[in-house]
Amino acid sequence: MRRGLLWLGALLLLGGCASSRPIDEIQIIQQMGYDFENGRYTGTAVYPTFKQGPMTKPNMLTTTSPTVYDLIPRLSSKSALPVEEGQLRLILFGKEFARRGVTQITHSLARNNKVGSHLLLGVAEESAKELLKTAANTTLSDTLYLPNLVEQNEQSMNLPKTNLHLFLYRYFSPGSDPFLPYFEKKGDFVKLEGVALFRDDRYVGHVSLRDSFLMKILLGETKNGVYQLKVGNRGKQGEDRVMLQNLWAKSKYEWKRDGSRHVLDVFVHIHASVRDYPSWLDHSGQDLFADVKKKMQNELEHNMRRLFRYFQKKRIDPLGIGDFVRSVTRHWDSDAFYREYPDLDIRPHVTVDIVHTGIGE
C-alpha cells in the first residue's frame, strides 16, 4: 500500500512537468500590429527585454507574409526564443488593414485560449508598425504605453470602454456594430484621436475624441468625460466657452410609432460640474447661469443630432440602437430595422444639471 502511494505521488508530481515554459526562456509579445501594404500583410510584435531592475526596453520584430495566419510562425523564424502570445495587451490594426476587415484576426483571438478577454484592440491612422515604433521610441522604458493610454482615457476621460470581449459582443450582435480607439501619429508622439467605427468588421470612419464623449454617454456609461461648449458670442477666443465635466449621466431610449414612421426619443440627463468658464459669467448672477444651461443643452442636442446623422449616413450602429429596439419589439427583424435605420427620426433631449463649479467663486 505504501509503495503504491509512493508511485501515485511520483506520478502526480511528474505529471506537472509535462510542459514548462520558464519566463526567461520565452519571448513575451505584449503588443502586436497588423498592416496591409502592397498586397502583403505585415506583422509587428513588440516585446520587452528586461534589463537591470525594473527597466524594460521595448523591442520589435517585423515580418511580412501574403496571408494573415502565418505571421506569428514567421515571427518565430526571427526570434531566438519561442514566441508566446499569452501576455498580449494590445493589437493595433493599420487603417488599410482595418478597411479590408479584421474578422480573421478577431475570430482567431476568440478561439485562442491563451489571450484574455481584456485584450485591447485599436486602429492606427496610417501604419500600425510606424505607430508602434514611435510609441516605443518616445517611451524608453514603458512597453505598455499604448494599453495604459487607452485604459487611462477609458477610466477618466472621453473614451468609451472597449476590449476584445466588447468588440466580439458588438460584432456578433445583430443590433450593433463595433468600434475601437483610434490613434494618430503626431510628429514624434502618439495621440489618441477618437473612436474608429466599423460596419461589421470593416473600418468605415472615425469620430473625434470630443464626439466620443457623446458616444460614451449614449452608450450608457455613467461617469467621467469632459466636454467643451460654446455658450456666448463674445468674439474673443476662449472667452465664450465652458468646460463641462460629467459627474453622473443617464441615458434613456424610447421607441415610438408616429404614423407610418418610427421615432426614437433619446433622453439624456447629465449631472455635471463646470470646470472652467469665462470670467464674464461670474458677475451676472444666477439668471445668466440658467441661460447658459439652456444654451449648453441646445448645443449638446445639436451635436448629438449631428452624430446620429453621421451614423445613419454611414449605415452603422455603434450605439446599439438595434439592440435596444430588439429589447422592446416582439419578433424583431434586424433586416427590416436596418432598412428603415438611415431615415429614422432620432430626437435627443438633453437635461444638464450643474452640480457645482469648483471651490472658488
Partner 1 sequence: MKQAIQERFLISPFLVFFVIHATQVGIGVLNFQRPLMKEVGQDAWMAVLMAGLSAHVLIWLMYRLLSHSPSGGDLVSLHEQYFGRWIGGVLSLGLLFYYALAAFMVLQSYIEIIKVWVFPLMGAWQFSLMFLLMTYYVVSGGFRVVVGLCVWGVVTPLLTIFPMVFFPLEYAQYRNLLPVFDHSFGQLAKASKEMVLQYLGFEMLLMYYPFLKQAPSSQKWAHAANAFTMFIYFVLILISIVFYNKEQIQHITWPTLTLAKIPEVPFIERMEYIVISIYVLVVFPIIAVSIWAATRVIKQLFAVQQRRSLPVLLACLFVGGMFFQEKTHIEQLTEWTAKAGFYLVAVYVPLLYLYVWTAEKVKKALQQKP
Residues that bind partner 1 (CB under 8 A): 8, 11-12, 15, 18-19, 107, 110, 113, 116-118, 165-166, 168-169, 172-174, 323-324, 327-331
Give the span between the Cα atoms of 207 and 101, in whole angstroms: 19
Looking at the Cβ atoms of 111 and 283, the one nearer to partner 1 is 111
Q: Which is nearer to partner 1, 82 or 358 (CB)?
A: 82
Distances (CA, A) of 40 to 67, 69, 96, 294, 350: 7, 12, 11, 54, 48
CB of 63 to partner 1, least distance (A): 24
* 69 vs 172, beta carbon nearer partner 1: 172
Q: Where would I find the H helices in the chain?
A: 2-15, 71-76, 95-99, 103-111, 128-138, 145-156, 164-172, 209-218, 285-314, 321-328, 334-340
How many Å apart are CA 204 and CA 98, to the nearest integer? 9
Instruction: Kindly give the interhelix angle for 145-156 and 128-138, rounded to the nearest 10 degrees.
Output: 90
Q: Which lies closer to partner 1 via its Cβ, residue 52 or residue 113?
A: 113
Q: How far is the CB of 76 from partner 1 (least distance, A)?
A: 17
Query: Residue 326: CB partners within 8 Å, gap ≥ 6?
Result: 174, 175, 332, 334
The least distance separating partner 1 from the CB of residue 33, rounded to whole angstroms, comes to 22
Residue 108 or 156: the one with the smaller Cβ distance to partner 1 is 108
Of 170 and 185, CB closest to partner 1: 170
Nearer to partner 1, 18 or 359 (CB): 18
Min dist CB 220 to partner 1, Å, is 9
Report in angstroms how near the CB of residue 118 gets to partner 1 at its nearest: 7
Smallest gap from Cβ 11 to partner 1, in A, equals 6
Question: What cell does 112 get?
Answer: 485562442
**Closest CA relative to residue 249, chosen from 289, 221, 215:** 221
The nearest distance, CB 205 to partner 1, in angstroms, is 24
Using a 10 angstrom Cβ sphere, with 0-12 exposed, 13-18 middle and 19 or more buried, the burial of residue 274 is buried
Cell of 131: 505607430
Cα distance between residue 214 and residue 307, in whole Å:
8
- The Cα–Cα gap between 281 and 272 comes to 17
CB of 172 to partner 1, least distance (A): 4
Cα first-last separation, the chain: 84
Angle, nearest 10°, between helix axes 103-111 and 164-172? 120
Q: What CA dihedral angle connects 197, 203, 209 and 213, to 10 degrees? A: 10
Nearest to 80 by CA among 42, 53, 47: 47
**Does residue 155 contact residue 163 with C-beta atoms inside 8 Å?**
no
Our CB check for partner 1 shows the closer of 11 and 359 to be 11
Least distance CB 105 / partner 1 (angstroms): 14
Alpha helices (H) in 193-283, listed in sequence order: 209-218
Shortest distance (Å) from residue 283 CB to partner 1: 46
Closest to partner 1 by CB, 102 vs 242, is 102
Q: Which is nearer to partner 1, 21 or 78 (CB)?
A: 21
Alpha helices in 78-117 (DSSP H): 95-99, 103-111
